[in-house]
Chains A and B, each alone.
Chain A
Amino acid sequence: MTGLGVIAPNANGVADFEAALREGRSGLRRNEAMAEHGFACQVAGVPQGADELAEKSFDGELLLAMNQSHRFASLAAVEAWQDAGFARPAASDETVDWDAGAILGTGIGGMDTIAAKVIPLVDAKKVRRLGSTSVEQVMASGISARVSGILALGNQVTTNSSACSTGTEAVVDGCLRIRQGLAERMLCGGVEAASHYIWAGFDAMRVLAKSWNEEPERASRPMSASAGGFVPGAGAGVLLLESLESAQRRGARIRAEVLGVAVNCGGHRGGGSMTAPNPEGVARCIQGALADGGVDPEEIDAINGHLTATGADPREIGSWSRALGRGPGRFPLVTSTKSLIGHALGAAGGIECAASVLMVERGFVHASRNCEDVHPEIQPFAGAIAHETRALPLRAVAKAGFGFGDVNAVVVFGKWNP
């Protein structure tokens, strides 16, 4: 793991993101579009200043063809590429990097563009006014395709989608491709645009936080007794995974090691459904990632959970405890990045994997805000919650992402010891 790129509600860029994590900086604000359209939840996590960054980084036809997902993903991918020590190629440079690819996912895809452009123009019988950029903006793979064009990537370039586990799944898939020897470097992560059209269905399901519209920074409350749903978010998080041989050959700075990975599905059985995880599936996925990396559960010094601030949080903590064989008193430190930025859906895994890498690399567990009132079922584990940022060396951090469809993805990041 040699490069990181982040566009998040509380920070743009890795350096400021690390500062934001350490400060426990919230990126949640009142959202006028949600208020205007009568949403129950009127709070969201929206990256600030990303358009200005995109206008500095991209120009001409490229900029004109980008919707918000493309901008978030491209900014984060270029940052990850450069963070790893690679130069961004000129558009006129015909060299293709056949050993580098991208798996950059999205949960919802081009819904913002569909809602804001495609439907109004088609309904108004102005189809030709869509111009040439509509397809590339609404096709799910437009995100990874855009990045491949900017960085001249010649290996596998694709967009995965597994709801809220998307970004974490991308890291798993990229890792496996490199292990197979099919690529040397893969940009992996997820992106989601900020759009009330994307969030509307979640509001209708009554899974969004609706009681904290006047106190946005308190609205995302993972592990709290007063949690009443998640706060929607947006952004992009991208990791550059690289084979150890490639990283060492070029003397790259190694931020962390991907120790073990796993994905699975609970099969919508045993309490699992389209919208809820089968706890056995979750536990098997966690154990699968540990087994994959030969990681002793005792080496997991921190968990960055999926932990969205819904009723699933207590079950998730229970699953971690069973899977690791570590009960109250022996449970690792636990935090939820969503307490700071909300739930960025398809981008969540990318941004939160980036947070997990920073934690294991730099030796800290960031504050998990808004659970002063720990949920009664989590109370036995209360001592493990990082209410404040803690600085301490970490051997390994486990990151999980669970998604609608009963799908799970887990990555264990390890401290790199050369």
Chain B
Amino acid sequence: MSEEELFEKVVEILRPYAKNAAALAVVAPETNILEDLKVNSARLVDVVLAFEDEFDIEIADEDVDAVETVADCVSLIQQKLPS
């Protein structure tokens, strides 16, 4: 899967949780999930579960702590995908 495709899939998973539609419309790799998209931090665990389901991977809690931007999500998923 190309990085672009991966980015698009991550954005689709984030879409229902993003309360800032304007930020979502111009989403970019450096977009911050909590501060820009205004995703409720309590829902991050659901976003991670959706990543696991979509990409058939497992993500540890400590991996999630370092995630701030959409690009962070993409690189985390890339790390977990079988190469």
Q: Is B49's CB under 8 angstroms from A61's CB? A: no
CA distance A128 to B15 in the complex (A): 22
| Residues of chain A lying within 8 A (CB to CB) of residue B18 | 60
Q: Is B19's CB under 8 angstroms from A91's CB? A: yes
A67 to chain B, nearest CB (A): 14
Partner of A133, one of B19, B44, B46, B61: B46
Q: Tell me the total A-B contact number using a CB cutoff of 8 A.
A: 30
B60 to chain A, nearest CB (A): 10
B25 to chain A, nearest CB (A): 14
Q: Mark B11-25, 1 if CB is under 8 A from A, else 0.
A: 000011111000000
A59 within 8 A of B: yes
CA distance A61 to B49 in the complex (A): 14
Interface size on B, residues (CB 8 A): 13
A129 within 8 A of B: yes
CA distance A60 to B37 in the complex (A): 13
A131 to chain B, nearest CB (A): 5
Q: Mark B39-83, 1 if CB is under 8 A from A, else 0.
A: 010111110010000000000010000000000000000000000
CA distance A91 to B44 in the complex (A): 20
CA distance A416 to B78 in the complex (A): 66
Q: Which residue of A lies closest to B45 (CB)?
A: A132
| Residues of chain A lying within 8 A (CB to CB) of residue B49 | 128-129, 131
CA distance A131 to B44 in the complex (A): 9
Q: Is B17's CB under 8 angstroms from A132's CB? A: no
Q: Is B46's CB under 8 angstroms from A131's CB? A: yes
Taking CB atoms and an 8 Å cut-off, the chain A residues in 93-142 that contact chain B are 128-129, 131-133
CA distance A64 to B46 in the complex (A): 10
Q: Is A63's CB under 8 angstroms from B16's CB? A: yes
Q: Is A59's CB under 8 angstroms from B16's CB? A: yes
Q: Is B17's CB under 8 angstroms from A61's CB? A: yes
| Residues of chain A lying within 8 A (CB to CB) of residue B43 | 61, 132
Q: Which residue of B lies closest to A135 (CB)?
A: B42
A-B contact pairs, 25 of them (CB 8 A): A60-B15, A60-B16, A60-B18, A60-B19, A61-B16, A61-B17, A61-B40, A61-B43, A63-B16, A64-B16, A64-B17, A64-B46, A92-B19, A128-B45, A128-B49, A128-B61, A131-B45, A131-B46, A131-B49, A132-B42, A132-B43, A132-B44, A132-B45, A132-B46, A133-B46
A-B pairs, top 8 by smallest CB distance, nearest first, are: A60-B16, A131-B46, A61-B17, A132-B45, A132-B42, A132-B46, A131-B49, A132-B43
